[in-house]
Every structure is written in structure tokens, then in C-alpha cells.
Amino acid sequence: MNFWYILGIAIGLAMDAFAVSVAAGIQVRALERGHVLRLAFSFGFFQFFMTVLGWVAGRGLSRWLTAVDHWAAFALLMLIGGKMLWDSFRSDDATCKDPTRGWMLLTLSVATSIDALAVGLSLALIAVSVWTASVVIGVVAALLSAVGALFGCRLGRRFGVWAERFGGLILIAIGVRILVDHLV
């Protein structure tokens, strides 16, 4: 898998974190550098870590799944992308005082990185090095989270929904591309 595929996956995964960061930027009345840094670091770290964790789990399963690895990667990316699209059409109006601190930040970080766990598993199934991919995924998530928080402060709630939809479509497209590459 070349760098552009990995970057595409990273952008697709980061759209969840971006969308949540937009919402966090909206919720924090006076967005400061600390808010942005906490979101960026936490979301980036968890995207990195969960990708590695998924890859480690996938390496143990790869002996049994090599015959269907491309189908598994395709299915996982389709499920993740489809879930992101589905979730983008449901509205949740839960608000909190400061989503960049404490348990709320931890919960948001884990929730936005569950997809990275599944992507790490699919990367192991198609024999991609975890370190390059996970670093790119973590850095892209951190950068887009910082940008998302800044945008959220200025652009409003509506932008976050479209970002999540776009992220879901990217993951679906990459899943289709993996399947086509293996079948052709």
C-alpha cells in the first residue's frame, strides 16, 4: 500500500475527530490554545495507538485469514465508512461544559478512534507496516483536530456533519479500491 492510500485512510479516519473537534470548538465559549492542543494531542495519540493495537491483533489472526484478507479489509472499511455515514444523519444534541478536559476528552478520544482499531486490523491482513501508517494516521488526526476546533469556533455546527459524511465516503472508496486491486 503506497503513501497516498495511507494518507487517504488517515484523512478518512480523522474526519470523525475533525467533526468532534468542530463541535467542541462550538461548545467552548472562548477557545484557547490549551483547548486546541488537548484535542489535537489526545485525538492524534488515540488514533495512533488504536491503529497499532488493531494491527497487533490482526497479526495474530493473519495465518487463518490470508485467503480472504482483501475481503476482510473491504468489509471492515465498508462497515466503518457506512457507520460514519449513518451516524452523520442522526442528530445528538448532548452538550457539555468543556469537552477538552477529563473524562469527556478521554471518552471522545476513544470513541473517535474505534475506527482506527478496525483499520489497524485490516492493515495487518494486507501486510502493511504498522509504524508508518499509524504515525501518519496519528499526525493527520492531530492536525485535523486542531483545524476542526478552530473551524468550529468560526463556522458553526453544520460543517461537522458534512466532514463526517466525507470521511465515511473516503473509507468506503478505499475499501473498494483494496478489493479491486486484489481481484484484478
Distance CA 60, CA 14 (A): 26
Q: pLDDT tens, position by position, for the chain (184 residues)? A: 788 889 999 999 898 788 878 777 877 767 889 999 999 999 999 999 999 988 888 877 656 655 666 777 788 778 877 877 787 787 654 444 677 888 888 888 888 888 888 888 888 878 778 999 999 999 999 999 999 988 877 765 455 567 667 767 877 887 788 788 878 7
Which residue has 486491486 as its cell numbers?
Answer: 181
> Which sequence spans correspond to the domains of the chain?
3-183
Is the pTM value of this prediction over 0.85? no
Distance CA 34, CA 119 (A): 29
Q: Which residues contact 71 (CB under 8 A, 6 or more apart)?
A: 179
